[in-house]
Structure 1
Amino acid sequence: MGTRDRVLIVDDEWQMRNLLKVLLYPSFDAEEAEDGEEALALLKKKSFSLVILDLMMPGISGWEVCEKIREEKQVPILMLTARGDTKDKVEGFTAGADDYLVKPFEPEELVARVKALVRRARAGGQIETDVLEAADLKIDRTARLIYAGNTIVELTPKEFELVELLAVNDKVIFTRDMLMARIWETHQEPDIRTTDTHIKNIREKFRKGGLSFNPIRTVWGKGYRFQKPES
């Protein structure tokens, strides 16, 4: 039987550390640190496949811990925080984080992100940023940020997922039912205009952000698709 991947959980709240250990146990061994100093000490003694790092901690902040880890190691870092501001995300990635998850989170999403980070790190050593580009639109799938030129377009998580799904599958026309099943994981739309409203909001945010083209096209009588600008 092979050695299991080991994850270091760094959070000043014992309830959160315990929850994370329970969620990760089926697939990973986990050790914990209640602050940045303890985490850095453990990282000097042992090897870990991934670090889950809380942003807001007493003493050394998660940003500082992340920067200190990056000075010596390329271990994947998943930043965990109650703050979902784009500015915080950008600072986290600048400090060296590989992914960012906002509390409260869905347990399945956390485990999926941890597995993906560990898998990519094992396959390629250093994690590559997964970026989709079309004209002045840039979709950073790792950072979960969208840019119009150099301007970050502030999207909600569902809006980002909609744009990402359409962009990755740019040759597919998605009906409203298909989008509800993939994004909201339901086949019954509580409000028939839910999808339309999200698309409208995304288009308006792209327009205000200065995007040079409308990437989400309506296919009348069918649904929506992603369309790159004509060259």
Structure 2
Amino acid sequence: MNPDLLRARLLLIEDHGPTAETLQAILQAIGFSRISHAGNTDLAFQMLEQQPFDIVLCDFNLGATNGITLVRNIRKPGGIGNPNVPLVMITAHAETDRVAEAQAAGVDDFLVKPIDPETLTRCLATLFDRSRSFVKTKTYAGPDRRRRHAADNPERRQADRQTASSVPQNKWIVPPKS
């Protein structure tokens, strides 16, 4: 695992205590040492406003406010925290509509519980090594949800009827202070 990735500040948003403990143990075993935990979206909003995070792992079901609402509040321009932070949605339910909703909200990846260490390691390493291009529109800032490159179809942006400006590749790890 890349040492820069292991220095990342990671926010885990999970309301089920035993699952949160298991995920924290897996992350620590992988080598992460800067892990914060929020058990609900209210606490997550506060934490995101108070300090920057390099990675967010968020459960889909978080009680009254679900993880999709949190992701949308992060991804919208002027929202909470860093709109370019890598977001991984975790859930016990992998229905196609749930995955599509998470992708439309702006998650970078989607993992189904139970999550094993190898899958989580591969997911986080991929986010670090091959992050997706980011776009910014009036209502959305985050990973480009289109799987094809704009050069593949130059007419696509015109068809979307919404201009987007490209943001440089997601360089989200903040170097440690000397």
Normalised-by-shorter TM-score class: 0.5 to 0.7
- The answer for the alignment partner of 1:36 in structure 2 is 41
Cross-structure match for 2:154: none
Count of matched residue positions in the alignment of Structure 1 and Structure 2: 132
- The structure 1 residue matched to 2:31, chosen from 27, 45, 50, is 27
State whether structure 2 residue 93 is matched by structure 1 residue 83. Answer: yes
Quick one: distance in 2 between partners of 1:59 and 1:108? 31
The DSSP-based 3-state class of the residue aligned with 1:8 is strand
- For 1:17, give the aligned amino acid: A
CA distance in 1, matches of 2:41, 2:75: 14
TM-score by length of 1: 0.51
> Alignment partner of 1:32: what SS?
strand
The equivalent of 1:57 in structure 2 is 62
1:49 and 1:118 in contact (8 A); partners too: no
Identity %: 27
Query: Runs (4+) of structure 1 moved beyond 6 Å?
Result: 123-126
Distance 1:80 1:116 in 2: 16
> Does residue 75 of structure 2 align to residue 70 of structure 1?
yes
Following superposition, the deviation at residue 129 of structure 1 comes to: 6.0
CA contact (8 A) 1:54 1:80 kept: yes
In structure 1, C-alpha distance between the alignment counterparts of 2:128 and 2:27, rounded to whole Å:
12
1:7 aligns with 2:10: yes
Report the 3-state secondary structure (helix = DSSP H, G, I; strand = E; otherwise coil) of the residue aligned with 1:48. coil
Return the alpha-carbon distance in structure 2 between the equivalents of residues 130 and 92 of structure 1: 14
Question: What is the distance in 2 between the residues matched to 1:63 and 1:7?
Answer: 18
Change (3 A) 1:120 1:27: farther
Gapped runs of 5+ residues in structure 1?
A: 134-231
How far off is 1:27 after superposition?
2.8
Q: Residue 13 of structure 2 contacts residue 58 of structure 2 at CA under 8 Å; is this kept in 1?
A: yes
Higher relative contact order (CA 8 A, sep 6+): 2
Once residues 43 and 119 of structure 1 are traced to their aligned partners in structure 2, the CA distance between those partners, rounded to angstroms, is 24
Q: Which has the larger radius of gyration?
A: 1
Does the 8 A contact of 1:77 with 1:98 survive in 2? yes
Gaps of 5+ in 2: 135-141, 150-178
After superposition, the CA RMSD in angstroms is 2.6
